[in-house]
């Protein structure tokens, strides 16, 4: 549309503004293309394929990851306490 306006003699006075708008439109187009490509490259099949079962499965996976992270933190704290308690104290055999 902007390319057409550039060629119409009535709009020649607006060529600078049209050029700015064309650059913005091209930038938006590139961003949308990159976003669409990232969606195509992902495992997401689309809203049509998302149902209650898949939502539950995704939530369960997130909950599992969170639990494993907490468990790893607890284990790390426990290992630190065990090491601190098992270190020899000064004056004790």
Confidence of residue 17 (pLDDT cuts 50, 70, 90): very high
C-alpha–C-alpha distance, residues 36 and 39, integer Å: 5
For the segment 11-16, the average pLDDT, to the nearest whole number, is 91
- 52 or 47, which is more confident: 52
For the segment 40-65, the average pLDDT, to the nearest whole number, is 84
pTM of the model: 0.45
CB contact set of 21 (below 8 Å; sequence gap of 6+): 2
pLDDT above 60: residue 60: yes
Confidence of residue 89 (pLDDT cuts 50, 70, 90): low
């Amino acid at each position: 549309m902007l390319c057409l306006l550039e060629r119409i003699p009535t709009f020649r006075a607006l060529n600078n503004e049209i050029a700015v708008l064309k650059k913005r439109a091209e930038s938006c187009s590139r961003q949308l293309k990159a976003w669409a490509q990232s969606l195509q490259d992902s495992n997401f099949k689309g809203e049509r394929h998302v149902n209650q079962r898949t939502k539950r499965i995704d939530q369960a996976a997130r909950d599992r990851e969170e639990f494993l992270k907490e468990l790893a933190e607890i284990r790390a704290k426990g290992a630190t306490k065990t090491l601190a308690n098992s270190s020899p104290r000064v004056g004790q055999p």
